[in-house]
Structure 1
Amino acid sequence: MNRIIRYTYPRTASLIPALANRSPWAALESEMDRLFESTLGDFAAPALAPRFPVDLYEDKDNTYVRAELPGVNRDDINVEMVDGFLTINATRKHKDETFTLNRSVSIPEAVQADKVGASYENGVLTVTLPKQEQAKPRKINISVN
């Protein structure tokens, strides 16, 4: 059974520490910004940032990161795991223009980083992140005394 997990990219504003002299309305303003971004963010994101959507899902043995990168050559894709983050960089060339796309996703610690694999087929990049043995679900037998 696969589970789909929606990943949203953190807002830059949410990474800035709270200021001491905040307005009493600041919390309401932040919440309104968050609501509008979560509702309309997917429509505006392609025009505002060189990012691309990713899907995260898992089964009992692996976690998967799936990214649609149509029009990108396999040689123009770079995948790295550094400090618990999976970073995907891609370059798309179209006529006389070159577009650089990038995305970083936080990966749980229960992944075997040395066994991560990636495949690219029909414009879809799939990164396979094998789970460590202790992170895999195990069936526990119940004995009767």
Structure 2
Amino acid sequence: MLRFDPFTDVDVLTRSLFSHAMGTSRVPQFMPMDLYRVGDHYVLHADLPGVDPGSVDVNVENGTLTLTAHRSAPSEEHVQWLASERFSGTYRRQLSLGDGVDTENISATYENGVLTVMIPVADRAKPRRIEVTRLASEAPRTIEAGKGETASKGEASG
């Protein structure tokens, strides 16, 4: 489902290096995520604590899933910072989707700082039964993916 995209990682590294050189490290570094398959869909969980739900955007274009979110910087003036480790700014993560994904039915929810994206497997990528026919003198039988042969029509099961 996913393809390696070295350009995204290089972009994140470059932004990180330039932000430290300019004296600020409060730019988003990454969007941690988990991705797994359950049955006929993939599930993606991305951690986005403190992000305004209205700023979260999930977009699919040309086989690329793009997740974008924004966390605003604190606007307190005349504050003496003792620690500043919470990133603010725009988070972005892109994933290349394979051909076996139903991009028309992707759905997303955001709850308790976690973005959950449900990515269904396309019907054409799901296992299916193919009937094998024989010459007219033999009875047809069905073979299922992942299972042994089934009994020919007309045979007694027992």
**Fold shared per TM-score above 0.5:** yes
1:95 counterpart (58, 74, 92) = 74
Q: Is the 8 A contact 1:71 1:123 kept in 2?
A: yes
2:117 counterpart (124, 127, 137) = 127
Sort the Cα spacing of 1:129 and 1:8 in 2 relative to 1 into closer, same or farther, 3 A. closer
Shift of 1:9: 6.6
- The residue number in structure 2 matching 1:51 is 30
SS of 1:65 mapped into structure 2: strand
Give the distance between the partners of 1:90 and 1:11, measured in 2 at CA: 21
Identity percentage of aligned residues: 31
SS of 1:109 mapped into structure 2: coil
- The residue number in structure 2 matching 1:38 is none
Give the distance between the partners of 1:87 and 1:80, measured in 2 at CA: 5
Give the distance between the partners of 2:3 and 2:113, measured in 1 at CA: 22
- What value does the CA root-mean-square deviation take over the aligned residues? 3.2
Give the distance between the partners of 1:61 and 1:93, measured in 2 at CA: 37
Q: What's the CA shift string for 1:75-124, capped at 9, x where partnerless?
A: 01111001111101110013129511101011121111111100111100
Shift of 1:8: 9.2
2:98 counterpart (105, 108, 111) = 108
- The residue number in structure 1 matching 2:6 is 11
- The residue number in structure 2 matching 1:143 is 150
- The residue number in structure 1 matching 2:81 is none
Q: Is the 8 A contact 1:60 1:137 kept in 2?
A: no
Q: Is the 8 A contact 1:56 1:66 kept in 2?
A: yes
Uncovered stretches (5+) of structure 2, i.e. residues with no partner: 11-24, 76-86, 130-143, 153-158
Task: Please say if 1:64 is aligned against 2:54.
Answer: no
- The residue number in structure 2 matching 1:44 is none
Number of corresponding residues = 110
Give the distance between the partners of 2:122 and 2:3, measured in 1 at CA: 25
* Residue identity matched to 2:112: N
Structure with bigger helix share is: 1
Q: Is the 8 A contact 1:60 1:136 kept in 2?
A: no
- The residue number in structure 2 matching 1:39 is none
